[in-house]
Structure 1
Amino acid sequence: MQIAVDELARNDVSLSAATICSRIDEQFYGGAQMQALTGLPREQVISRVYRIRDRHSGGNIHGRIEKPPLSRVVDRPLNFFQFHFICGFDDNDQPIRIIGWGHPELISLLKYSGTCIFIDGTFRCVPRGFQQCIVVMVHDRSSGLYVPVFYVLTTHRTMNTCRHVLHFIIQATGEQLEPAEVICDFERTLIDAVQIQFPAADIIGYLFHFKQAVRRRMKKLGIAKRATSIAMESGVLDMLTSSCNHLITGPPGDLPSEVEDSTDDEDDEVDGASSSSDGALSSNSSEAEGGEPEEKSVIV
């Protein structure tokens, strides 16, 4: 029975201790078993499962994701786990931890020259101990869709953290990631990191978050709810991005607080939002008079 418990605990880490206990009971005590058996009580089975898994991962809960089967693509000998980075400490004596996953076959899509990538971060759906989950998608030219490639958990939301995330993603592609366009949130730390890692790329703001920021500002100014709803409808604010290439431009350090706070994952309902290039605000100004390109700037 001990051997059976150990095999289940090591081979399928997705099974809970209670599930393993139930399977052991069914295997040894279920059916038409008539002979007397002396086995492990339920408490010992559960404690043995935890002990075996801790020994297998070196006692580190993060070590479990670095070893098969959790590190592999389901039913395939491919590594879904890509990197685990820890460095220094912040002002609160907390280590900076970055963990990234990505499907190897999808990572190859990032290696094409002149790709368009989309970077989005969420702060709500993250495990305990982490502050952000960054998802990196790439535009698949064959299907015309944005395909999620990387999922990265971070314990901090600083510019250096975003820069490290992009650095390890670049390394995972064999330093072949050279996007022509990067669509991302109106977040200063992320925009600064993108400009450092991809200086030649056009940075495009996400229309959905722009409309969120406008809606929040209209509510703050006391504008009627009906007028706010009309402004959020498809084809109203959107016409500003479809009829011209850019709005008011300014250096990254001049981002208004309303725009920076537009990534807080509020439950605001914004109609007509799109993550395509037609529904984005370009951060790369058009060519100036005389054919010389102007300096890149973030749309606010």
Structure 2
Amino acid sequence: MTSNSSSKSFNKLTTKGRRIIQHEQFEFIFKRHNIFYDTYKCRSFHKEKCPAFINVFKNGRIDKGAEHNHDSPSMDNAVVEEAINKMKNGIILSSTTTSSVIRDVIFEMPLEEMSRLPSEESLKQTLRRHFNKYYKKNSSGMPEDLVEHMLYDSGMSEENRVLIFGHKEMGAALESSDIWMAEGIYTATPTPFYQLYVLHFVKNGAAHAAVFGLLTGKTVEMYTKFLQVTKEKFNISNRSRVVLVNFESAAINAFQAVFPESRLLGCFFHFKQAIIKSLQRYALKTKYEKDPQFRKNIKLFFALSMLPLDDVKKGYEAVSKEIAGQVACKRFVKYFHETFMSGGLFPPSFWNHRQSVLEGIPKATNFIEGWHNGLTYSFGLRKRPLFQFLVTLHKEMEYTRTKFHNPSPPSNKKKLILAKKLKKMIQAYDPQTSNTMFFLKAVTYVV
């Protein structure tokens, strides 16, 4: 049977790469080619065991073969195809699960079209196949939009590969800033990398991410390379700055080597975390959680960071006497002395924040905790291929740059109030006349 009605090409392919055309409200999939025509079989060949096929000649003529054994779709299958294509894009660009991607797309579909979708298990298999095929093809590539922002790549053959990215505009702002913050993100980093190390700068009361480094470890050499590349690519001057970092010797040594004029300060939040973590080592964590008086005494160690440097030793000796009753407590006091006092791994000059509070400098890198949480959510909880990770990273870089130009004022009023109270307490403290223990106890209520 010959038909003069034209076929409608969707300009699309099946998941296996076969062409699809529409003819008389039915869809046909390419089957084979010869010198005279192309043969297409009904798309419901497997589902309905439909024998229908058409031959499409070069001059546009269409010959119909056997008839369909099922009714034509009530609506154009393009709606269903569009939904499946949205799912495919979603599984590539997002960090969510296949189930979440499917639900997000189905939620937007008309009710009458939902029943025409394949089963959920079939959709999951399609998305997994598409995901694996896409990232196998792009496993060693770099998103085109991100190439211009790549500052350094040690190369795929390098055992300890380092990738560093940054926007020139953000690099210029980093150079002009007097306050930096550095912290690593360890969730969802792609193999073989261990962390995403991010260098922030503070402008107008807000922190902005400027340089992103994918590192395979936490060594002095890797941090040094990260900082050297940043310094060279953005022409960072070697002048006095405040840099907030975690209690990580390798990062501290790298900053001291590359930016010797900078004043390094240990993050107050991580200072507290290190103390609390040590309690678990000495079987004191439960006591800290259940004994209010013991918890208050431990917080006195936090408050030492707000004393004048010359008074820290006197304050430490007074605070130590408060918990010196048990053997485990004596071990904790010894740990604190060997780790945080003069001659220790991190001396008081590194974790003392009295001057920071007076100068209005953030005392903790959790100043950027909200940004880190948002970035972690964007990457997802499970590891993704490098290419997809970099696609998400590029989006985050552009979003950060946009926020830099459209800053929003700090919204945590409670923190602002506590910060003002703390500043007043510090200003009122007189080393000659003030009671050190009374001051420390008062500080524990605002830190």
TM-score by length of 2: 0.40
Distance in 2 of aligned mates of 1:233 and 1:125: 38
Q: Conserved in 1, the CA contact under 8 Å of 2:182 and 2:365?
A: no
Letter in structure 2 aligned against 1:140: K
Q: Quick check: 1:83 aligned with 2:152?
A: yes
Aligned-partner SS, 2:260 = coil
Q: 1:38 to 1:104 in 2, by over 3 A?
A: farther
Equivalent position of 2:278 in the other structure: 217
More off after superposition, 223-232 vs 173-182: 223-232
Task: Indicate the SS of the match to 1:156.
Answer: coil
SS at match of 1:151: strand
Residue by residue over 1:145-198, the C-alpha shift from the partner in whole angstroms, topping out at 9 and shown as x without a partner, is 111112211112211111001111112212347451111111111110010011
Question: Aligned pair 1:186/2:262, yes or no?
Answer: no
**Cα distance in 2, alignment partners of residues 34 and 209 from structure 1:** 61
Contact 2:181 2:365 in 1 (8 A): no
Tell me if structure 1 keeps the 8 A contact 2:178–2:242: yes
Alignment partner, residue 160 of structure 2: 96
2 CA distance for matches of 1:51 and 1:209?
A: 37
Match for 1:244 among 298, 304, 308?
Answer: 308
What are structure 2's unaligned runs of at least 5 residues?
A: 1-10, 34-42, 44-125, 313-339, 348-362, 368-418, 423-447
Are the aligned partners of 2:181 and 2:200 in contact in 1 as well (CA < 8 Å)? yes
On the 8 A contact 2:238/2:259 being kept in 1, the answer is: no
Shift of 1:36: 6.5
Cα distance in 2 between the residues matched to 1:120 and 1:245: 26
Question: How does 1:167-206 map onto structure 2 within 5 Å?
Answer: 167-176=228-237, 178=239, 180-206=241-267
**What's 2:222 paired with?**
161
**Equivalent residue letter for 1:83:** Y
Contact kept? 1:21, 1:46, Cα under 8 Å: no
Q: 1:116 to 1:30 in 2, by over 3 A?
A: farther
1:68 aligned partner: 144
Q: Deviations over 1:11-59 (max 9, x none)?
A: xxxxxxxxx855977x8346946667448999xx979x669946xxxxx
Q: Provide the C-alpha distance between the structure 1 equivalents of 2:342 and 2:157, rounded to a whole number of angstroms.
A: 34
Matching residue of 2:212: 151
Indicate the structure (1 or 2) with the bigger Cα radius of gyration.
Answer: 2
RMSD: 4.5
SS at match of 2:269: helix
Aligned AA for 2:276?
R
Shift of 1:103: 3.1
Q: Give the structure 2 partner of residue 105 of structure 1.
A: 169
Output the CA distance in 2 between the equivalents of 1:23 and 1:192: 54
| Cα 1:120–1:28 shift into 2, 3 Å | same
> In the TM superposition, what whole-angstrom CA distance separates every residue of 1:104-161 from its partner, at most 9, and x where no partner exists?
332221121x5211111233432111122211111113xx111111221111221111
Amino acid in structure 1 at the alignment position of 2:228:
H
C-alpha distance in 2, partners of 1:135/1:160? 16
Unaligned runs of 5+ in 1: 6-19, 55-60, 73-78, 90-94, 257-271, 280-300
User: Take 1:220 and 1:52, find their aligned partners in 2: how far apart are those partners?
Assistant: 45
Change in CA separation of 1:53 and 1:156 when aligned onto 2, cut-off 3 Å = same
1:236 Cα deviation from its structure 2 partner: 4.8
Q: Is the 2:198–2:212 contact (alpha carbons within 8 Å) kept by the matching residues of 1?
A: yes
Q: 1:85 offset after TM fit, Å?
A: 2.0
Q: Sequence identity, in percent?
A: 16
Amino acid in structure 2 at the alignment position of 1:132: Q
Following TM superposition, by how much is the alpha carbon of 1:224 offset from its aligned partner in structure 2, in angstroms?
A: 5.8
CA distance in 2, matches of 1:30, 1:209: 63
| Alpha-carbon distance in 1 for matches of 2:250, 2:244 | 14
Tell me: CA distance 1:216–1:81, structure 2 relative to 1, closer, same or farther (3 Å).
Answer: same
